[in-house]
A and B are shown apart, each in its own frame.
Chain A
Amino acid sequence: MVMKLIKKIYMSLIFLFLYAPILVLVVFSFNESKSRGQWGGFTLKWYAELFRDRDIIKALYYTFLVALLSSIISTIIGTFSAIGIHNMGLFGRKTILNINYLPVLNPDIVTGVALMTLFVSINLRLGFLTMLISHVVFNIPYVILSVLPKLRQMNKHMAEAALDLGATPFTAMKKVIIPEIMPGIITGALMAFTLSIDDFVISFFNTGSGVTNLSIIIYSMAKRGVKPSINALSTLMLITVVILLLLINKRTTKGDELLP
């Protein structure tokens, strides 16, 4: 009984720690007075200011565009590569997988700086294209890592059976392999999308020419101090996240699916 109480108190404290900062932002996004700690009355003016801010709107657009494009590209490349890697000999497979782990295991700052070095060395102007490429580079390994286990679980005679029954390799791939590994592909695609939306470090080093994303703009605003329109932005993002998670949770009801 005492143990139960301790558990409850502990979890409450942890949730307080996790949510208090966010709630402070939410509350002060409606605060008329610019300074925190003083309540100047209810207002929506920071939301209006947020939507009038062209830089934020543009950053939002690039964030979603890059996330969408990079997750589609990396899911396609990643899935086919995973099928290829799965069919390779032991040595080739191990070598590729070890290199594939590099962007996962290396600190983001090293990956970001290394890619920037490459782009600058070949005189590729930093901007939208370089940001997109860098996102594809760090997304593909995650797609491969989520597709490969599904390939291993698959009955290896299935594709052979399809071929024996007269399917072309293309048909066997489309009708047998791809449907079988679909859950892995979807997990990989979702992971790529969220990683891309949330990325800061790699984008920071590999963009330029006025192309930014949400993280970069928040960073440059926050560096100059606290700005109430960021509070409004946080509130909107929190609402989006909660709605999305509740929808996903309703569909799966198994929390495990939410693991990033």
Chain B
Amino acid sequence: MKNKAKLLAYPYVVWIAIFIIVPLVLVLVYSFTEGNIHNPSSLTFSLKSYDKFFNILYLNILWKSFKLAFISTFLCLILGYPVALIISKAKAKYKGILLLFFLVPIWMNFLLRTYAWMAILSPNGFINRLLQLIGLPTLAIMPGQTAVVIGMVYNFLPFMVLPIYTVLSKIDKNVLEAAMDLGANKIITFIKVIFPLTVPGIISGITMVFMPAVSTFVISQLLGGGKELLIGNLIEQQFTVQRDWHFGSALSIILMIMILISMAFMSKADKDDEGGAALW
């Protein structure tokens, strides 16, 4: 049985070779070549795309992407941890409904959620109309970095709360009682027991927020008004507008490597790393 059953995985081996491995290899190849991509024989080895990237203009964009993603992740953690804590400690009959209402917005389309903030923050949007109505000067949040950060926090906050909540709700109540019995007060219990136990959740939360934030091009396009270019916008432009697939591929490889480095850094902080399983 065992030997035969494993045959069931073989079609998927072929599938991942074609649709996961080959595309990434192609991107890698294009990043190191120049020439016409529709004519493979014209491709020649070249470091032009990487050379092009090491330019203050592009390095700044990469720096800004990481800066904004870092700020957003930090804000999500600060705002989200108490939410996870409060929901996990809520009475059983409220817990389900709190979680439900927390999740409704993420079940709305991602583009619509971003669009909603456009309608609120844009120069003649809701907030500025309100301010005008009561005679206050208007704000110039959008387009700008603040608007992009608000959009990121709004869209990705649940990704921080859910893993922390999951870890919190799995904590054995006896452990907490033991801490209390041994004389720890609520604050000490939190610092010495609860918080360390939620570190795996925090790590997955950070990964799940940071990754989409650093690679987004939608939020920066819509809320940054096209002026706050991030690495995601740069990649998107190379593939859709500029048609410089070699440079686009090099940018994708650089983004992947940067993310891999940050993730390796994160998983080192997480002692009992369960791999991606901790994601869910």
Contact = CB atoms under 8 A, between A and B. Distances in A.
Interface of A: 7, 10-11, 14-15, 17-22, 24-25, 28, 35-38, 77, 80-81, 83-89, 92, 96, 99-111, 113-118, 120-121, 123, 133, 137, 140, 145-146, 159-160, 163, 169, 172, 194, 197-198, 200-201, 205, 214-215, 218-219, 222-223, 226, 230-231, 233-234, 237-238, 241-242, 244-246, 249, 253-256, 258-260
Given A87-B6, A260-B106, A96 B252 contact: no
A77 B15 contact: yes
A220 B16 CA distance: 32
Given A87-B2, A123-B38, A234-B109, 13 more contacts: A10-B82, A11-B98, A14-B83, A18-B105, A37-B133, A86-B5, A110-B24, A117-B26, A146-B280, A169-B1, A223-B221, A223-B222, A237-B109
Contacts of A15: 101-102
A96 B108 contact: no
B24 A102 contact: yes
25 contacts: A11-B98, A18-B157, A21-B116, A25-B112, A28-B119, A81-B11, A84-B7, A87-B3, A105-B276, A109-B235, A114-B23, A114-B252, A118-B18, A120-B37, A172-B1, A201-B218, A219-B218, A219-B222, A226-B115, A226-B125, A238-B104, A245-B104, A246-B100, A255-B100, A260-B162
A163 B186 CA distance: 55
B276 A101 contact: yes
B224 to A, nearest CB: 12
Contact of B259 (A80, A107, A121, A160): A107
Nearest to A258: B103
Nearest to A102: B20
A99 B100 contact: no
B280 to A, nearest CB: 7
Interface of B: 1-13, 15-16, 18-24, 26-27, 30, 37-38, 40, 79, 82-83, 86, 95-120, 122, 124-126, 128-130, 132-133, 154, 157, 162, 166, 169, 211-212, 214-215, 217-218, 221-222, 232, 235-236, 239-240, 245, 248-249, 252, 255-256, 259, 263, 275-277, 279-280
B16 A99 contact: yes
Contacts of A87: 1-3, 5-6, 8-9
Contact of B108 (A35, A238, A254): A238
Given A17-B154, A108-B212, A259-B166, A241 B222 contact: no
Nearest to B240: A205
Contacts of B104: 238, 241-242, 245
A13 B134 CA distance: 23
Majority SS of interface residues in chain B? Answer: helix
Contacts of A215: 109-111
Given A37-B129, A105-B276, A255-B99, A137 B8 contact: no
A166 to B, nearest CB: 13
